[in-house]
Structure 1
Amino acid sequence: MSLKSIGAKIFAKTAVSRINKWANNPVETQQKVFKSLLKEAKNTHFGKDHGFDTINSYSDFAKQVPMRDYEALRNYVDRVVAGEEDILWPGKPLYFAKTSGTTSGAKYIPLTKASMPSHIQAARNAILCYVHETGKADFVNGKMIFLQGSPEMVEKNGIQLGRLSGIVAHYVPSYLQKNRLPSLKTNCIADWETKVDAIVEETKNEDMTVISGIPSWVQMYFERLRASTGKDVGDLFKNFNLFIYGGVNFEPYRAKFEALIGRKVPSIELYPASEGFFAFQDKQDEKGMLLQLNSGIFYEFIEASTFFDADAKRLTIGEVEKDVNYVMIISSNAGLWGYNIGDTVQFTSTSPYRVIVSGRIKHFISAFGEHVIGKEVEQAMNEVMQQFNFSISEFTVAPQILPKQGELPHHEWLVEFETAPENLQKVTDVLDVLMQQQNSYYKDLIEGKVLQQLKIKPLVKDSFQAYMKSQGKLGGQNKIPRLANDRKIADALLKIQH
């Protein structure tokens, strides 16, 4: 065992001990974060506008600080972008993480001197928890690849602007720099397909032990590795023993990954976002990711079923329950206050608090009152793939409100198969039953003859890549929405078939 491996195990033991202290005292930990945030920001423009110096309890905060999305907070953010100080958080941010908003255009999310360390520490702690639990640390001696956006940045009124993954790339610890791929030159390539080909050339003869990225884009990397070398990824990289991912549910990709690799590889799930690093998988045999309660983020939750009600109740960590779909609201040391990040989560455990991402509050289908969410379609797809032994590259779901004459409306599942099922109609039948079992509203609509059974539309190979390329969103941290309440994506995908 190398000195680096021994050091990793010692470091891991210390890190896990620190994590356990706050994870075992969740309410107290969040209360400390809450008080600290208000104290630090009371003299900012936002703090003065919302009377932070008069807030003595959480109920005061909930009354004085309304829940906001980016558009509602934009008048403050625009002032920060313009170079003003002390607007949302003391001073100026270190960076802006630029993201693509679906309704707001480009969004500029501040990263401050106070918030930046949590992004790095959470990613590090995820790996250290794995080392401590499994005793495996030899991977630190091999090469590691992080498929991410370009680390190149531009300056905007004295503040560095870039993609989150590119910003984080500048914070890779020095002891990992020699092990890290791809090279800076390759990482800065703008065109994703060109970049992946360059990464293949740089890595195919290396001893890759850790590979990280969003599953859809790592899959593309694996496919090109196999095309270039004629070997399974697991044969090419014999010491590849850890896959780290985030951004989407891995289950729909698992069968395809195992086929490309040629064996199973342990994995760690992360929940990073520009707005904060919220959770990571701390146990290999536990469902869900440990919510980061001690990272300068104060969490609130609103039941998704009541979210659009005028009197929707905001809950704190001690009030949440397992298996309920919540919209997650954050206030943070990046200067986001009562901020709706758009994600919905469910708690898989409340001792400690672990979550799964169940979808997006804007990404659902409720064209007929069914309110189908991402978790439901992903779980149904995963179960039917296992039952009928087929695999997919990608899928999305949309409502068909205007079907052919004589047909009832329905949900259309647009699926790019990797290995197609033998009997598509049987798959369709079972998939529809699984959806009815999960969603009682959907079941009522089917039984009431308001909707007919869902339909599966097979797509030609690389349809989703072609769509993402047409939107200028190929690669990086970009993700296909798993479902939508309209047909914009569905109709664009269908045009690609001709």
Structure 2
Amino acid sequence: MFSLKSALAIPFAKYVYKKTQKWANTPIKTQEKVFKSLIEQATNTVFGKDHNFQNITSHAEFIERVPVRDYEALKPYVERVVAGESDILWKGKPTYFAKTSGTTSGSKYIPITKESMPTHVEAARNAILMYIHETGNSKFVNGKMIFLQGSPILKEQNGVQLGRLSGIVAHYVPKYLQKNRLPSWETNCIEDWETKVDAIVEETLPENMTVISGIPSWVQMYFEKLQQKTGKKVGDIFKNFNLFIFGGVNYEPYRAKFENLIGRKVDSIELYPASEGFFAFQDKQDQKGMLLQLNSGIFYEFIKADEFFNENPKRITIANVELNVNYVMIISTNAGLWAYNIGDTVQFTSTKPYRVIVSGRIKHFISAFGEHVIGKEVEQAMQDAVAGTNIRITEFTVAPQINPKAGLPYHEWFIEFENEPDDMVTLAEKIDQSLQKQNSYYFDLIEGKVLQPLKITKIKKDGFQEHMKSLGKLGGQNKIPRLSNDRKIAESLSRFIEK
């Protein structure tokens, strides 16, 4: 059946592809332009005056005057913005505050300005259009699309609207998609996550769902409820479902489980959105990594992760990055964040164009014994260990066990299985071997008998969900850290261990 909407999507996708190629092919020039524009626009702000922006003409001068800060260090400025003052970090007042629950600083209020808001919306749109341009597949725009997200209800704080980023973005769904999008406004406003997912199941079951989007761990919950209700695979319920859009966490540990729940393979697009900016999206189905958004009002700097905690670590621009090196990503944006450490680590998979993968969080690592194991390594180890088997993992996290009842210390892997192995010891050995291969420090500690090989602790069915629920963090943008350098999560999970 001919559809005007899907027919128009193809030339629009071509236009967006050409526009994207333009800046992607001149990356350094593009970033220099963004840098200059940001400094100019913020020269007369309180922050700009405090850091002498009027005399900054180069990146070297910017480094000299503007130190790297995290949210805590920027808080004195943010608090003035929240109190209703103008021209503090960026000209005027922000349009929104994206409220996030920080792990160390309680609630964070991340400003979103009239200049930065469109970049969030355009990047999400362009990710889909680039997919259409590459594959020629635009039929899905005629079906129903679901975006699992936070409540769109906003509050007001001193004249500025306040809410979750996904809830704010819900107000910007283009008119031509309004009829296609689910869940309904009423369902989207339900605060309790389990009630909300039940309502979404009821709303979507009779529909022609073609696109499903959200954080994998929460989409998984939706898929499981669909299956429980119907006894069918998701791909049989929604015959035309052929595109899964996700962000927030690495999809690989979930892939096997998803393919089993769906009953077939579907195309996927990975996004890298955050309250602080929309940083990257997957622009090619056959390429690893996501296209770094260099033309979205964000200036990027990078610090090697293993030098980050040094006295004066070197800050570089995209011009000097290397492939497969773990970098802490530092951003300056048209929402008024300056040399801001968002806490993520990335690796470049390509520099023509610049593509990245998220390798972890600078705060999420295990180095209780000097091993400095990162998120990407534990995810890769799990992937290697279950490849070619029928083992399916629901969720996992890793913590150091420094004071075991007997023997040497070790890494403890808390795993919830959907389909568990016949032999847990063999699985533990495979994971351990992969980790030793990836991380030479870990290898040395095992070889030198400082650590014993890792141990697996089985979490009961739905244990991770119950753990998140007990913290009041079920659903939305909340996710389990893959690993931590202390036992806080381990202790909380101890109630959900399978006896």
- Regarding TM over 0.5, the answer is yes
Partner secondary structure for residue 111 of structure 2: strand
What is the CA distance between 1:253 and its match in structure 2?
Answer: 0.5
Q: Which residue of 2 aligns with 1:296?
A: 297
Equivalent residue runs for 1:368-387 within 5 Å: 368-387=369-388
Give the C-alpha shift of residue 491 in structure 1.
Answer: 1.3
> Counterpart of 2:161 in 1: which secondary structure?
strand
- Give the number of equivalent residue pairs: 497
Cα distance in 1, alignment partners of residues 380 and 363 from structure 2: 19
What is the DSSP-based 3-state SS (H/G/I as helix, E as strand, rest coil) of the residue aligned with 2:265? coil
Rounded Cα–Cα distance in structure 2 between residues aligned with 1:266 and 1:140: 15
Map 1:271-420 to 2 at 5 A: 271-405=272-406, 407-420=407-420
Aligned-pair CA distance for 1:496: 2.5
Structure 2 counterparts to residues 121-132 of structure 1, below 5 A? 121-132=122-133
Deviates more, 1:229-238 or 1:287-296: 229-238
Distance of 2:66 and 2:389 partners within structure 1: 50
CA distance in 1, matches of 2:156, 2:240: 40
Counterpart check, 1:115 vs 2:116:
yes
Q: Distance in 1 between matches of 2:119 and 2:254?
A: 29
After the TM superposition, which parts of structure 1 deviate over 4 Å for at least 4 consecutive aligned residues?
none
Q: Tell me, what secondary structure is at the counterpart of 2:127?
A: helix
Deviation track 1:172-213 (CA, whole Å, cap 9, x = no partner) reads: 000000000000000000100000000000000100000000
User: What secondary structure does 2:451 align onto?
Assistant: coil
User: Contact 1:370–1:441 at 8 Å: present in 2 too?
Assistant: yes
User: Within 2, Cα distance between the matches of 1:303 and 1:174?
Assistant: 43
What is aligned with 1:207? Answer: 208
Report matched runs for 1:52-71 at 5 Å. 52-71=53-72
- Per-residue CA deviations over 1:352-410 (Å, capped at 9, x if unaligned) read 000000000000000000000000000110111114330010000000001013x1000
Deviation at 1:56, TM superposition (A): 1.4
Q: Which amino acid aligns with 2:37?
A: S
Give the whole-Å Cα distance in 2 for the aligned partners of 1:55 and 1:120: 31
Q: Provide the residue aligned with 1:36 in structure 2.
A: 37
Task: Give SS of 2:379's match.
Answer: helix
In 2, Cα distance between equivalents of 1:451 and 1:230:
45
Question: Partners of 1:56 and 1:129 in 2: how far apart?
Answer: 35
CA contact (8 A) 1:291 1:354 kept: yes
Q: Which AA in structure 1 matches 2:399?
A: A
The equivalent residue for 1:469 is: 469
SS of 1:59's partner is helix
Tell me, in whole angstroms, the C-alpha distance in 1 between the residues paired with 2:260 and 2:104: 38
Counterpart CA distance in 2 for 1:387 and 1:257 is: 16
Instruction: Indicate the RMSD between aligned Cα atoms, in angstroms.
Output: 0.7
Q: Please give the secondary structure, in 1, of the residue aligned with 2:287.
A: coil
SS at match of 2:172: coil
Letter of the 2:173 counterpart: V
The answer to whether structure 1 residue 454 and structure 2 residue 488 are counterparts is: no
* TM, length-normalised to structure 1: 0.99
1:430: Cα distance to partner?
1.2
1:137 aligns with 138
Please, which runs of 5 or more residues in structure 2 have no aligned partner?
none
- 1:230-266 deviations in whole A, cap 9, x for unaligned? 2111010000010000000001111111111110000
Cα distance in 2 for partners of 1:105, 1:286 equals 37
**2: CA distance, partners of 1:9 / 1:383:** 38
Counterpart position of 1:441: 441
2:96 aligned residue: 95
1:166: which partner in 2? 167
Q: Any stretches of 5+ residues in structure 1 without a counterpart?
A: none
CA–CA distance in structure 2, aligned partners of residues 100 and 182 of structure 1: 24
Corresponding residue SS for 1:321:
coil
Residue aligned with 1:170, SS: helix
What residue number does 2:478 align with?
A: 478
**2:22 — aligned with what?**
21
For 1:192, the aligned partner's letter is W
Q: Check if 1:426 corresponds to 2:426.
A: yes
CA–CA separation in structure 2 for the residues paired with 1:56 and 1:331: 15
Residues 424-473 of structure 1: CA deviation (Å, up to 9, x unaligned):
11111111110000000000000010000000111100010001001111
2:178 aligned residue: 177
Distance in 1, Cα, partners of 2:495 & 2:6: 52
Alpha-carbon distance in 2 for matches of 1:389, 1:363: 29
Residue 488 (structure 1) aligned with residue 498 (structure 2): no
What is aligned with 1:217? Answer: 218
Deviation string, structure 1 residues 102-128 (Cα, Å, up to 9, x no partner): 111100000000000000000000000
The residue type equivalent to 2:492 in the other structure is: A
Indicate the residue corresponding to 2:148 in structure 1.
Answer: 147
Counterpart-to-counterpart distance in 1, 2:233 and 2:456 = 30
Match of 2:257 in 1: 256
Distance 2:390 2:377 in 1: 20
Distance 1:431 1:44 in 2: 51
The CA distance in 1 between the partners of 2:120 and 2:57, in whole Å, is 29
Counterpart code for 2:450: V
Q: Aligned to 1:267, what secondary structure does the other structure show?
A: strand
Q: The residue matched to 1:279 in structure 2 has which SS?
A: strand
Report if aligned partners of 1:388, 1:427 keep a CA contact under 8 Å in 2: no
Q: One-letter code of the match for 2:297?
A: G
Preserved CA contact (<8 Å) 1:397 1:412: yes
- 2: CA distance, partners of 1:69 / 1:174: 37
Distance (Å, rounded) in 2 between the aligned partners of 1:491 and 1:7: 54
- 2:400 and 2:427 map into 1 onto residues whose CA distance is 19
Instruction: Indicate the percent of aligned positions where both proteins have the same amino acid.
Output: 72
**1:271 Cα deviation after fit:** 0.1
Distance in 2, matches of 1:415 and 1:211, equals: 26
Relative to the length of structure 2, the TM-score reads 0.99
- Aligned partners of 2:224, 2:47: CA distance in 1, in Å? 49
Query: Amino acid of the residue matched to residue 33 of structure 1?
Result: V
